[in-house]
């Protein structure tokens, strides 16, 4: 087993980030990801001005809160398995009435069938212990015809020097410089997406109704609940 694989597997073990990790995340990683997540927030607001959004693995809440601020007609729920993350997110969301954060497991969502207009997730899927259950839960809670956007790391985003230069210019040195290493440890390779993840999706209710594409600094999986 390679050192990278050993570290990667070790990092995936804690599905819920412990309290010290949540505090460190809030002070470091969350800030580095603000610009990329702001772009996602803008993309979502351009797509929809009202409805209900569910953010899986919402962390300290930045993405959910930015969406809620930009579109008061949207109700945004963030769910996370770390109580400390939820606590921090609630603190950040003070005064933003249409953003709410709950403690819970993405593999057993506390939401009704056909109640959500868009499910989103950024940088969380590599932590999921039961991803097939999470995908099927996404299908259950989504309204017919609606989508889930699952973003996570993929080192191939940073393979091209020209693309890395663009990322540096757009998001700053830290994202461009550290992106490859971070996405190697916190995400999946292109091959893993096309084999392991794709094979898993074929065993879910989304079978045949998904797309994968490198988007910005992420691999984006778009899942659609068809009639």
Residue ranges per structural domain of the chain? 15-154+189-224
SS3 call for 118: strand
Q: How confident is the model at residue 14 (pLDDT cuts 50, 70, 90)?
A: low
Predicted local confidence at residue 6, as pLDDT:
40
Distance CA 129, CA 181 (A): 22
Predicted local confidence at residue 31, as pLDDT:
55
Is 0.75 surpassed by the pTM of this model? yes
Q: Which tokens belong to 149?
A: 């956007």
Mean pLDDT throughout 71-94? 95
**For the stretch 78-100, what's the b/e string if a residue is b when 16 or more beta carbons lie within 10 angstroms of its beta carbon?**
bbbbbebbbbbbbebbeebebbb
Distance CA 125, CA 111 (A): 19
- Residue bearing the bigger pLDDT, 205 or 21: 205
> Kind and range of the H or E element at 46?
helix 34-47
SS3 call for 188: coil
Distance CA 21, CA 28 (A): 10
Distance CA 150, CA 147 (A): 10
Give the CATH fold of the 15-154+189-224 domain: Rossmann fold (3.40.50)
The rounded mean pLDDT for the chain is 86
Predicted local confidence at residue 10, as pLDDT:
42
147-192 confidence digits (pLDDT tens) = 999 999 999 998 877 888 888 888 877 777 777 777 877 799 999 9
């Amino acid at each position: 087993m390679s050192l990278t694989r050993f570290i990667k597997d070790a990092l995936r073990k804690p599905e819920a980030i412990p309290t010290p990790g949540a505090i460190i995340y809030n002070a470091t990683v969350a800030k580095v990801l603000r610009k990329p997540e702001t772009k996602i927030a803008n993309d979502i607001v351009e797509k929809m001005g009202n409805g209900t959004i569910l953010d899986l693995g919402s962390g300290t809440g930045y993405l959910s809160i930015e969406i809620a601020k930009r579109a008061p007609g949207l109700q945004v729920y963030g769910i996370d398995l770390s109580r400390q993350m939820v606590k921090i997110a609630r603190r950040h969301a003070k005064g933003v009435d249409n953003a709410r954060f709950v403690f819970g497991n993405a593999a057993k969502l506390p939401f009704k069938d056909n109640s959500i207009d868009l499910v989103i997730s950024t940088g969380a899927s590599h932590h999921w212990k039961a991803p097939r259950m999470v995908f099927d839960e996404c299908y259950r809670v989504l309204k017919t015809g609606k989508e889930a956007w699952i973003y996570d790391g993929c080192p191939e985003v940073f393979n091209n020097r020209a693309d890395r230069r663009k990322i540096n210019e757009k998001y700053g040195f830290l994202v461009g410089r550290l992106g490859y290493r971070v996405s190697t440890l916190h995400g999946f390779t292109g091959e893993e997406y096309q084999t392991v993840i794709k094979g898993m999706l074929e065993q879910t209710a989304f079978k045949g109704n998904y797309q994968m594409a490198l988007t910005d600094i992420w691999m984006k999986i778009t899942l659609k609940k068809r009639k």
